Amino acid sequence: MRKAHEATGIHRTFLWHGFVSGIGETPVIAANGADIPLLGLGTWELRGRSCARLVEQALRLGYRHIDTAEMYDNEHDVGEGLRVSGVKRSEVFVTTKIWPTHYAPRELERAARDCLVRLRLSEVDLLLLHWPNPQIPLAETMAALGKVKRDGLTRHIGVSNFTVALIEQALRATSEPLVCNQVECHPFLDQSKLIAACRRHRMAVVAYSPIAQGNAGHDGVLKRIGAAHGKTAAQICLRFLVQQDIVVIPRTSRLERLSENAAIFDFSLNEAEMAAIAALASRGGRLIDWAFAGRSKWD
């Protein structure tokens, strides 16, 4: 088991937000020029007023990282939650993602501008390619993504659901740094090859479905370790990832879960606990396997 903070090519800093009711110190991973908060709010399947309310409450609790996507059909709601929260725009790291059908150069730029209109922002902090699309040459897409950054629509760019081979191709096709690969990542899925590749290139790993879509709560190992720390199995799951400098963006539709998911920075797991959790991983632990990804090509 690799110890946290051990020569990852990524370093951790701390930003103090001073929220007595919430998170307090928010760890931030610095990757290729981007400072990405280790904890964020995922918004997949959240829409309408409930989405805006969750975003608002998360920001008031001290979250400083919100993740959305063109495909989620909730960018307007995310933007509304950001505005009514009262938190300064400069303090929030906003990520959105372009859907693969919009990867042709002109389409990508148009889609990026449409995202900003829905969010009512002048720029996002991070713009990602949501899934690979083998129907459009990656070099053309990466060139367009780099242009979108240079035009000021986003501060940083990255990818999502890319394999090691696709990361290498993407890096060869752009002169702009890629700051992350957002992927399914939790204790039940072996992503060691992908994590190692990202670290070689100083890219952060951003974990979606970090609680394995709720499955973490049923695992005996996680529950046993949680009992020893006075934490839930889900909190142990999240701590396992952030202790490896992996960014987590758990989604929840329940306001009370926001504080629970944030309470992961006031304890540490020892080496034996980390090893026991790591032993849960397998190549067959994947939960999300869309056709865009190329089902037989996962690392």
- Judge whether 299 lies within some domain: no
Cα–Cα distance, 20 to 1 (Å, whole number):
34
Domain residues for 190? 12-284
Count of structural domains within the chain = 1
Q: Give dist(CA 184, CA 168) in Å, integer.
A: 19
Tens of pLDDT, residues 264-280: 999 999 999 999 999 99
Mean pLDDT of the residues in the chain? 90
For residue range 102-119, list pLDDT tens digits in order: 999 999 999 999 999 999
CATH number at residue 22: 3.20.20.100
Give yes or no for a contact between 183 and 160, defined as CB atoms under 8 angstroms apart. yes
- At residue 15, the pLDDT reads 40
Residue 218 confidence (pLDDT) above 50: yes
295 assigned to some structural domain: no
Q: Give the dihedral of Cα atoms 182, 247, 186, 8; nearest 10 deg.
A: 90
pLDDT over 70 for what percent of the chain?
A: 89
Residues, the chain: 299
Domain-located, residue 45: yes
CA distances from 63 to 112, 126, 162, 258 (A): 24, 16, 26, 9
Contact 58, 258 (CB under 8 A): yes
Residue 5 has pLDDT above 80, yes or no: no
Distance CA 10, CA 94 (A): 20
Say if residue 1's pLDDT is above 80.
Answer: no
- Is 7 within a domain? no
Predicted pLDDT at 22? 43
Q: 72 an active-site residue?
A: yes
Please say whether the dihedral angle defined by the alpha carbons of residues 165, 96, 149 and 39, taken in this order, is positive or negative: negative
Considering the candidates 63, 72, 103, 208, report the single residue annotated as catalytic.
72
Contacts with 52 (C-beta within 8 Å, 6 or more apart), sequence order? 77, 78, 80, 81, 84
Choose among 278, 242, 279, 190: nearest CA to 5.
242
The answer to whether position 6 is within a domain reads no
d(CA 244, CA 125): 23
Q: Which of these ranges, 85-89, 95-99, 125-129, 279-283, has the smallest mean pLDDT? A: 279-283
The two tokens of residue 284 are: 């067959």
First vs last Cα of the chain: how many Å apart? Answer: 19
